[in-house]
Amino acid sequence: MTTLKLKNLTCRFGDVVAVDGIDLEIGDHELVSLLGPSGCGKTTTLRCIAGFESPDGGDILFDQSSVKGLAPEKRDLGMVFQNYALFPHMTVSGNLAYGLQMRKTDQQEIDRRIGETLEIVQLTGLGDRYPNQLSGGQQQRVALARALIIQPRILLLDEPLANLDAKLREEMRFFIRNLQKDIGITTIYVTHDQAESMVMSDRIVVMFDGRIHQIGKPAEIYNFPATQEIADFIGLSNFIACTVSSREADDQYSVDTATGRLRSTTTASHTVGSEVIMMVRPEVITLHSESAQGTHNEIQGTVAEKYYLGNVITYRIRYTDDAILQVQGQPWSTFEVGDSIWCRFDVERSWILPTGSS
Amino acid sequence: MTRSRLTLLLLIPTLALLVAFLLLPYVNMVVMSFRTPSTSAVFAPGFTTANYLNALLDPDFYYLEILWDTMVLGFWTTLICLTLGFPLAYHLARTQSRIKTLLYFFILSPLLVGVVIRCYGWMIILGPHNGLINNTLKQLNLIENSLPLMFNTFGVSVGLIHVFLPFMILPLLGSIQAVDPALEEASQSLGASRLKTMFKVIVPLSLPGIQAGSILVFVLTISSFVIPILLGSYKVMIMPTLVVQQIMDAMLWPFGAALAFILSIAGGLVIYVYLKLTARLVPGVQ
């Protein structure tokens, strides 16, 4: 299939720089999601790749050859739109046939491919329906089928699940991911939903303000975010302000916090005495009624709030006058508000971030 | 008083107006078309179908030919308005321009000038002897004899298209705006050029606007009177001119009324067939 390369891609709308010189390489068969808050430039990037926006600078390459001057209809892409954009005056079959008719495929082959594709998206028998006779989830799958039936070089998905209800959205994540793996098509997935991008992606590209802030596998992005902004955007985090006190190993430092000395992990190097931020995810912290006496990182505090969520209990632990640690406890955990408590976590499960947002 | 009664009460002035000045004259005209003609009065006593039969069964097909010419004029005016209006309406529907309001004003501008002044304006431009176009071409020695730009179907069509274009553009504008721009992008991403997208997606989906605009322009054209008189000068004979001639000049009220209803029925039939045909072209819309 196809590899994609963005070289210093820049796109402006008047004075606003929507995409600010991004570089990205996407390999064959890979599903990469562009993740970021609204206005971060992820959709504009996708539209530049599709040819709907013309970049002000940089280049876009499919398989090493530039597509910059190419009209959208010449790029051979499959695109799924947020509102599906199904042709309301055509049946499901008509929608699927459209791209093949443009390619002058003969009618027999069109019919065969429609049958085959409807089967893949589990809509066999619905070929004669009009889009407005279908449910949201079915329309979504027609949109996907319409994009895939032309056997495009690259599949572009622009927030395709945003209009579905929560349960269906979760099912469709797995469905799309499996389909993409089966076909092996290079895919770019734009979303602002971090859980969605975690589940579906081979790699995630985190974007803020038109720039790429981090590229990595879902686990890397989650466990070792490059900045506090990313850590904050993806999942829940506790941030503890601290000062580097000494280097303990290649990737371990001792740090001083308001509640005492702790140890943490990083791949960056920090000078002794510099201000840093320690990130601890709520689910890596375990709660204990007694201290482990120095074998782990520990913070002592008091249970301030307790919320039962079914699969977990969220505790909010006050460990200094103005600092709260959020912890996900087991649902059978019995600590109550007011209990004095030890919050314990592994050195390897905490992560040092530079101060400042970028 | 209940709410529905109050609503009814509020409707009365409009209803009264419509009954007094539209329905009653119409009924009167229908009755008139079946009256016996008279040379000394508006009509003679008794009823007859002779008015209709005389018009329809005229051995020279004189009246049917004029009816046909009227329909042909309506057809071409509508088609040209649609062809000219669609790209304009599309541009206006999609533009992000800051002068959008000004563009609307330009579209509506033909309606801001009275029909007589507008026609005299066209006469200055199209006139056979001292008209702007003929004069200029003669001065440049490009032509020897004047081009027939006026007092013929061409001149009438120009005048009609000029003023009816807004009636085509406004309904089109509404239905093109209702077509999601993402559909155009979807079409392009599937390999359709912009032109193909226009004919396969935008035109079919704006069918309601095309129908509304076409009906408006067609009806206005086949019932137009002032423009055909001024720019056609009785050399372009269409049904409204004929009807007015029969009633005002020849004082043949019953026959004129019959001609008027033949025009109405024929126009209605054309519109009915048009709606049926276009609806079949685009099954999913409507």
Per-residue pLDDT, B142: 87
pLDDT in tens, B231-278: 998 888 999 999 999 998 888 999 999 999 999 999 999 999 999 999
Q: Which residues does chain A have within 8 Å of residue B175's beta carbon, measured at their own beta carbons? A: none
Does the structure show a pLDDT above 50 at A138? yes
Does the structure show a pLDDT above 50 at A358? no
A149 touching B (Cβ < 8 Å): no
pLDDT in tens, B49-105: 999 999 999 889 999 999 999 999 999 999 999 999 999 999 999 998 889 899 999
- Sequence-distant (6+) residues with CB within 8 A of A225 are A214, A231, A234, A279, A351, A353
Binning chain A into helix, strand and coil, the percentages to the nearest 5 are 25, 35, 35
Higher-pLDDT residue of A7 and A251 is: A7
- Sequence-distant (6+) residues with CB within 8 A of A268 are A352, A354
> Which range among A5-14, A257-266, B275-284 shows the weakest confidence by mean pLDDT?
B275-284
Cα end-to-end distance, chain A, whole Å: 36
Tokens of B109: 């501008």
pLDDT band at B42 (very low <50, low <70, confident <90, very high): confident
Average pLDDT, chain A: 92
Number of residues that make up chain A: 358
**B185: closest chain A residue by CA:** A52
> Which range among A185-189, A279-283, B232-236 shows the weakest confidence by mean pLDDT?
B232-236
Residue A106 is inside which H or E element, if any?
none
- Structure ipTM: 0.85
Does the structure show a pLDDT above 50 at B175? yes
Nearest to A72 among B189, B200, B284 (CB): B189
Contact B192 A98 (CB under 8 A): yes
Q: Which residues does chain A have within 8 Å of residue B196's beta carbon, measured at their own beta carbons? A: 102
A162 touching B (Cβ < 8 Å): no
Higher-pLDDT residue of B189 and A291 is: B189
Does the structure show a pLDDT above 90 at B3? no
Per-residue pLDDT, B191: 94
pLDDT in tens, A289-314: 988 777 678 899 999 999 999 899 99
d(CA B213, CA B250): 35
Q: How far is CA B238 from CA A219, B51, B158, B264, B271, in A?
A: 80, 18, 16, 13, 18
Per-residue pLDDT, A208: 95
Q: Which residues does chain B have within 8 Å of residue A53's beta carbon, measured at their own beta carbons? A: none
**A129: closest chain B residue by CA:** B284
CATH 1.10.3720.10 applies to domain B68-236: yes
Per-residue pLDDT, B284: 60
A105 touching B (Cβ < 8 Å): no
Does the structure show a pLDDT above 80 at A260? yes
Tokens of A21: 């010189």
Does the structure show a pLDDT above 80 at B173? yes
Q: What are phi and psi of A147, to 5 degrees?
A: -75, -30
CB burial class (10 A; 0-12, 13-18, 19+) of residue B199?
exposed
Q: What are phi and psi of B19, to 5 degrees?
A: -65, -45
Q: Which of B190, B194, B201, B282 is the best residue to mutate to test the A interface, defined by the most A CB atoms within 10 Å of its own CB?
A: B190
Spatial contact of A98 and B190, defined as CB atoms under 8 Å apart:
yes
Looking only at the bridges linking them, the beta strands covering A323-329 and A313-320 are antiparallel
Spatial contact of A131 and A139, defined as CB atoms under 8 Å apart:
yes
Average pLDDT, chain B: 92
Binning chain B into helix, strand and coil, the percentages to the nearest 5 are 75, 0, 25
Q: Locate the domains of chain B by residue range.
A: 68-236
Average pLDDT over residues A77-87: 94
Average pLDDT over residues A173-184: 93
Per-residue pLDDT, B285: 56
d(CA B29, CA B35): 10
Tokens of A323: 């600092």
Does the structure show a pLDDT above 90 at B128? no
Q: Which residues does chain B have within 8 Å of residue A79's beta carbon, measured at their own beta carbons? A: 185-186, 189
Per-residue pLDDT, B39: 80
DSSP letter (8 states) at residue B128:
T
Nearest to A102 among B191, B282, B285 (CB): B191
Does the structure show a pLDDT above 60 at B286? no
Q: Which of A80, A82, A89 is the best residue to mutate to test the B interface, defined by the most B CB atoms within 10 Å of its own CB?
A: A89
pLDDT in tens, B134-160: 999 999 988 888 888 988 999 999 999
A150 touching B (Cβ < 8 Å): yes
Looking only at the bridges linking them, the beta strands covering A323-329 and A286-288 are unpaired
pLDDT band at A357 (very low <50, low <70, confident <90, very high): very low
d(CA A185, CA A353): 35
Spatial contact of A36 and A87, defined as CB atoms under 8 Å apart:
no
Tokens of A45: 């990037």
Cα end-to-end distance, chain B, whole Å: 39
Average pLDDT over residues A218-235: 93
Per-residue pLDDT, B229: 92
Q: Which segments of chain A are extended strands (E)?
A: 4-13, 16-26, 31-35, 57-62, 65-66, 77-80, 154-158, 186-191, 203-208, 211-216, 238-249, 252-257, 260-265, 275-280, 286-288, 297-308, 313-320, 323-329, 340-345, 350-354
Contact B284 A90 (CB under 8 A): yes
d(CA A108, CA A106): 6
Q: Which residues does chain A have within 8 Å of residue B193's beta carbon, measured at their own beta carbons? A: 71, 73
Per-residue pLDDT, B1: 59
Q: What are phi and psi of B3, to 5 degrees?
A: -65, -40
Average pLDDT over residues A204-209: 95
Average pLDDT over residues B24-51: 90
Does the structure show a pLDDT above 50 at B33? yes
SS3 (DSSP) at A253: strand
The percent of residues in chain B predicted with pLDDT above 90, rounded, is: 75
CA B201 from chain centre, in angstroms, equals: 27
Closest CA to A23 of A51, A4, A38: A4
Q: What are phi and psi of A346, to 5 degrees?
A: -70, 150
Average pLDDT over residues A176-187: 93
Does the structure show a pLDDT above 90 at B188? yes
Average pLDDT over residues B111-126: 92
pLDDT band at B281 (very low <50, low <70, confident <90, very high): confident
